[in-house]
Amino acid sequence: MAYMWITGLTIFLTQILTLLVSECRAKVPAIIVFGDSSVDSGNNNFISTVAKSNFAPYGRDFPGGYATGRFCNGRLPTDYLSEAFGLKQSIPAYLDPMYSIQDFATGVCFASAGSGYDNATADVLGVIPLWQELENYKDYQRELEIFLGAEQEKEIITEALYIMSLGTNDFLENYYAIPGRRSQFTIQQYQDFLIGLAEDFVEQLYALGARKLSLTGLPPMGCLPLERATNFMHPDSCAKEYNDLALEFNGKLEQLVAKLNNELSGMKVLFANPYDLLLQLITAPSLYGFENAEVGCCGSGTFEMGIMCTPDHPLTCTDADKYVFWDAFHLTDRANQIISSYLFKDLKSNFL
């Protein structure tokens, strides 16, 4: 009797242990990224566009010190998130021939600097539109299935964390910069148009098997150095109109996220909102050890980005860790790290 009891107990304990081990195993086997320069890890290097950054001083603080095509001196928030989830320390770009499906199996980036929700936004600089990012993702699924077999492929597709980070360009590079969309839509209508496109995109991702999604909100766009420098009403201060717009659009995104969580059964969508933290970095930089949050490190810091941010610009700062912005439009490695550790808390509790 005692023997049987012990055997029964052993089996029971073994079952519990097996359950615990499988529960503890990382439930995010890969991170899959869509969006714009906030998360593009180098896809634009391989297309014909001026929206590139695969030259010095970009990448000077990246592991190895070389320019990858990231619009940053170092790593992007998605790279830091990948590391935080116990995956690679940086997420490779899908179009980069240096990497293969073996690398992409634990993380892949389809994002393209200069892109947006709106096809017309990608057209401005001839970059990869969002629908094409999705087509590339479909190719990825097929390659992954060949590489791992259908069962393991499905597991990765289902358990992966999908990150979308875009929208700033739809407003700043498209709506307010060139006439097309402004003659068709009021700003209210344009926001709703973009929300509709975001919804379509998430539904397509869902139909393709995605179940864990982080949808990133807009930053305080009016505080980007370029927008400050061109704020003729109040020189050098944040453009309030653009910050208000970002807040309003984020409210709509948050509503969309609630709707998607209701409608897409089995899918969890998280609204990742860096707005408040970023505004705090910008308004109280010294609290975070920054010395400058008004201009970028590169060049004069007011307008240079991409090819304007040249290797030997005499004004480029020496220590980018003291700056919130790396160029006139993009954050430094250190700011990205702070943002990502903030976002990771929510992601971890929802997806791990």
Ligand X SMILES: *[C@@H]1O[C@H](CO)[C@@H](O)[C@H](O)[C@H]1NC(C)=O
Q: Which residues are at the interface with ligand X (CB under 6 A)?
A: 119, 131, 197
Do 312 and 319 contact (CB within 8 A), yes or no?
no
* Local structure of 246: helix, strand or coil: helix
- In this structure, which long-range contacts are made by residues 284-289, counting pairs with CB atoms below 8 Å and at least 24 apart in sequence? 285/324, 288/338, 289/321, 289/322
Instruction: Rank residues 66 and 131 by Cβ distance to ligand X and give the closer one.
Output: 131
**Distance between CA 92 and CA 106 in Å, rounded?**
10
Of the candidates 35, 43, 8, 58, the residue with the CA atom closest to the CA atom of residue 330: 58
Instruction: Rank residues 63 and 196 by Cβ distance to ligand X and give the closer one.
Output: 196
> Which H or E run includes 2?
helix 2-24
Residues with catalytic roles? 37, 327, 330
- Minimum Å distance from CB 134 to ligand X? 10
Q: Which residues of 120-136 are buried (b: 16+ CB within 10 A; e: fewer)?
A: bbbbbbebbbbebbeeb
- Minimum Å distance from CB 197 to ligand X? 6
Instruction: Rank residues 195 and 229 by Cβ distance to ligand X and give the closer one.
Output: 195
Instruction: Rank residues 119 and 255 by Cβ distance to ligand X and give the closer one.
Output: 119
Burial of 240 per CB tally in 10 Å (0-12, 13-18, 19+): middle
Q: Which residues of 256-287 are buried (b: 16+ CB within 10 A; e: fewer)?
A: bbeebeeebeebebbbbbbbebbbebbeebee
Report how far Cα 256 is from the mean position of its chain's Cα atoms: 18
Instruction: Rank residues 135 and 263 by Cβ distance to ligand X and give the closer one.
Output: 135
- Minimum Å distance from CB 224 to ligand X? 26
> Which H or E run includes 140?
helix 130-148
Cβ-based neighbour number of residue 204 at 10 Å: 15
**Distance between CA 243 and CA 156 in Å, rounded?**
37
Amino acid occupying residue 343 = L
- Minimum Å distance from CB 264 to ligand X? 20
Instruction: Rank residues 87 and 198 by Cβ distance to ligand X and give the closer one.
Output: 198
Residue closest to ligand X when measured from CB atoms = 119
- Minimum Å distance from CB 190 to ligand X? 12
Query: Taking each helix axis from N to C terminus, what angle separates 333-351 and 77-84, rounded to the nearest 10 degrees?
Result: 40
Of the candidates 263, 225, 226, 223, the residue with the CA atom closest to the CA atom of residue 246: 223
Instruction: Rank residues 81 and 197 by Cβ distance to ligand X and give the closer one.
Output: 197
- Minimum Å distance from CB 205 to ligand X? 15
- Minimum Å distance from CB 191 to ligand X? 15
* Local structure of 272: helix, strand or coil: strand
> What tokens appear for 302 in the block?
């007011």
